[in-house]
Structure 1
Amino acid sequence: MDAKRLTLDSGAQCYREQARPEPAPTLVLLHGISSSAGSWAKLAEWLPGYRLLAWDAPGYGDSHPLANEAPTAADYAERLEAWLAALGVERCVLVGHSLGAMMAGAYLVAYPGRLAGVVLADPAQGYGDAEPTRRDEVYRSRWTQLEAQGHAAYARARAPRLLRAGGDPADIARVEAEMHKLHVEGFARAGWMLANDSLGRYLPVAPAVPALVICGDEDRITPPEDVRALARRLALPYRDIPRAGHASYIDAPAAFARAIDDFARPLLGAADSAEKP
């Protein structure tokens, strides 16, 4: 995936793109709190029939942070809309992983016209309805450790938990490499959103566009039982990703790609495209 950069009114927005020589249906990929656009590179090999756009969320990579130091998912959705509008994306399936699922939910409510569908992958549901002490604990649980420990120690300790137990060392190294790119400022603002907002504020009932919920069956961050409960509450289809942890698209890219393709293909008119690289 090629690294690219746009200048929006709100500042630089960086992203990666896997383009196609012919017009191709578009998937937009939103990473989680400890990651960045580069984390989707392994999955991209399994989705050859799509144009893939993966952003570095505001405050990640070289993307300009949000002006709001205490942002909501709606603030991220506003930047997402500006980026997609600047790229001329008229119709897409939005894939939000973990914290990206909260951003996807907020975007769906505010800008449904650009969406053919939404995938909530290993979705974080947020702590906005928790007690203040719990919200403060969640807010300070990540960026303060990064600041105190440094990138190398933080990544070594945290990366294995995002994958299945006994995960591929190469995949662990991939997750660690993405964590080395974190900026404390952007990480802290994303942590504020996780702690003080919630997916339920945007999706209290079934969404207005087609949606799918998926989760790694060995996810230790957003446990499958919680994600299944979300799917039941929203009356949405649910799909397991076998032998996969929280970063299910890294642990099991073929199965993740097949789930995305099965969902997106009829919505976008794509040819069957989830293939072995």
Structure 2
Amino acid sequence: MICWRETGEGEALTLLHGISSCAASWHKQFSGVAGCRLLAWDMPGYGDSPPLAAALPMAADYADALATMLERAGVEKTVLLGHSLGALVACAFAAVYPKRVKRLVLADPAQGYGQAAPERREQVWRSRQRQIAQGTEAMAESRADKLLRSGARVGDVATVAAGMRRLRPEGYLAAAWLLANEDIHRWLADWRGPLEVWCGEQDTITPPENAHALALRWRAPYLSIPQAGHASYLDNERFFNQQIARVIKEASDECTH
């Protein structure tokens, strides 16, 4: 049973976190976004959610899990915002369940290595296995600040580190397999609805030039988030939340015309 956090009422906005995070990482959106029903899931194998049944699930498996969660939440249609690996899952959901997505936002998107050479995919997979084998404490100590802008606030580093410390090996490894073997573009090819791409200007994990190229490929608006690294929703929450408010308003306006 997938677990999620939610607050508010009105237009539904669903947030999908990245590979080393969880629903709790969106705390600045829960406290800073109003005028909508905000939902954030714990991806299968993360937080309080059990892992998927498949040992090596692919994006469609996560999309089905999200569909089940939204049914339980009574959400028929949602604005969908995926961050990092969550962007890949969001694209799969939008492709498989297009009538359930009003608008699709990809923030600091991880595009997957599905089109890379087998050697590269294997390298990515093995690298993630080594990371989690070192333990979540070591990961938090060595990687948390790398997800944020230079000179990031102590509290933001603590938020990222806390998410890493809560990682469960089975959930993380399943997501790592997804990252190494999926490709965001195969799913975007089947999405015909509104799409936009955001990226922190200081993102060194999924660099702005890669996110911009994705936006250009699919003729989508591109938004650079100033003073922000990969975890742009933490680094510059004010700007990020303003963009959420804009997207929600645009989605609501579409319903009234």
Task: Give TM-score scaled by structure 2 length.
Answer: 0.95
Q: Which residue of 2 aligns with 1:245?
A: 229
| Aligned with residue 15 of structure 1, among 4, 19, 23 | 4
Deviation at 1:269, TM superposition (A): 4.2
Q: Which residue of 1 aligns with 2:201?
A: 217
Q: What secondary structure sits across from 1:13 in the alignment? A: coil
Report sequence identity in percent: 50
Distance in 1 (CA, whole Å) between partners of 2:71 and 2:103 is 17
Q: Which residue of 2 aligns with 1:3?
A: none
Q: How does 1:200-211 map to 2 (within 5 A)?
A: 200-204=185-189, 207-211=191-195
Given that 1:72 and 1:193 are in contact with CA atoms closer than 8 Å, whether structure 2 keeps it comes out as yes
Q: More deviation in 41-50 or 235-244?
A: 41-50
Distance in 2 (CA, whole Å) between partners of 1:250 and 1:139 is 27
| Aligned with residue 184 of structure 1, among 165, 169, 176 | 169
Q: What secondary structure sits across from 1:239 in the alignment? A: strand
- 1:115 to 2:101 alignment: yes
Deviation at 1:142, TM superposition (A): 2.3
Q: What secondary structure sits across from 2:79 in the alignment? A: strand
| Aligned with residue 159 of structure 1, among 140, 144, 147 | 144
- Say which structure is richer in helix: 2
Q: What secondary structure sits across from 2:209 in the alignment? A: helix
Distance in 2 (CA, whole Å) between partners of 1:145 and 1:221 is 15
Task: Give TM-score scaled by structure 1 length.
Answer: 0.89
Given that 1:73 and 1:102 are in contact with CA atoms closer than 8 Å, whether structure 2 keeps it comes out as yes
Segments of structure 2 that go 5 or more residues without pairing to the other structure are none
Deviation at 1:64, TM superposition (A): 1.3
After superposition, what is the alpha-carbon deviation per residue over 1:17-49, rounded to whole angstroms, capped at 9, x for unaligned?
11x3xx411110000000000000112222121
Given that 1:116 and 1:268 are in contact with CA atoms closer than 8 Å, whether structure 2 keeps it comes out as no
Q: Which residue of 2 aligns with 1:5?
A: none
| Aligned with residue 175 of structure 1, among 148, 157, 160 | 160
Distance in 1 (CA, whole Å) between partners of 2:54 and 2:20 is 20
Deviation at 1:173, TM superposition (A): 0.7
Distance in 1 (CA, whole Å) between partners of 2:68 and 2:199 is 29
Q: What secondary structure sits across from 1:79 in the alignment? A: helix
Q: Which residue of 1 aligns with 2:117?
A: 131
Q: More deviation in 223-232 or 84-93?
A: 84-93
Q: What secondary structure sits across from 1:24 in the alignment? A: coil
Q: CA RMSD in A?
A: 1.3
Deviation at 1:86, TM superposition (A): 1.6
After superposition, what is the alpha-carbon deviation per residue over 1:127-174, rounded to whole angstroms, capped at 9, x for unaligned?
011111111111122242222x22212101011110011111110011
Q: Which residue of 1 aligns with 2:250?
A: 266
Deviating above 3 A after TM superposition, structure 1's stretches of 4 or more consecutive aligned residues are: none
Segments of structure 1 that go 5 or more residues without pairing to the other structure are 1-11, 271-277
- 1:144 to 2:144 alignment: no
